[in-house]
Amino acid sequence: MSASPTSGGFGAGFRAMVPLWMGVAPFGAAYAVTARAAGIDPVHTQLMSLLVFAGGAQFAAVGLIAAGAGPWTLISTTFLLNLRHLLYGVVVASTTELRGGRRLLAAHLLTDEAFGVHVAHGRGRPAFLIGAGLSLFVVWNAATLVGSLLARSLPEPHAIGLDIVFPLAFLALLVPLLHDHRTLAVAAIAGLGAWGLGAVLEPGAALLVAATLAAAIGAALPAAAREAP
């Protein structure tokens, strides 16, 4: 009988991400195909996956490079896209003790998916977080390599319906955490806020503002409830 995702450390974190591989791999390959089409050679395409390891930022950077954008445009765009990681870092730092090299490694490997699985199943266990992050890191980089080698023969993930994998995966992680009115309110405010702000802000900034607002309201709700007659 296999161990559940809630038991163990590094190995449990690594295995907890396996169901997401089928969604990560096609997009890693699609990034490589896009990069090759933009004129980026295989070495630099792979280096971006190894050193940046952020799917949305990598796709955005490749598109900007193809359009001839300058370095400051690249830096500012990818920074805004990844602003949500500031919140991820605050949550991880407040619940999981990480020191020295493990802190740097966890920061590099932290993704939306690894954060979600860690919060749901591995909170407080640094080995779980690193295992989850490394699991996707290996798959993303392997898929990048395959995409570079087979750039002309791979279909787009959207064309075969795999773009639905990530939203469904996050929904599956979210639902068990909605156990009272407070968590339901926070989730609703964050979701609706991100959707509304997305029309006027960059995606990363919209997520950061909506999540911060929802967290602040969620923190205030218990106090308001106690003061109510």
Q: What is the pTM of this model?
A: 0.70
**In the prediction, which pLDDT does 210 show?**
80
Look at residue 3 in the predicted model and tell me its pLDDT.
42
The per-residue pLDDT for 76 is 81
Looking at residue 155, its pLDDT comes to 60
Q: CA nearest 196: which of 209, 184, 186, 183?
A: 209
Distance CA 180, CA 35 (A): 45
What phi, psi does 8 have (nearest 5°)?
85, -170
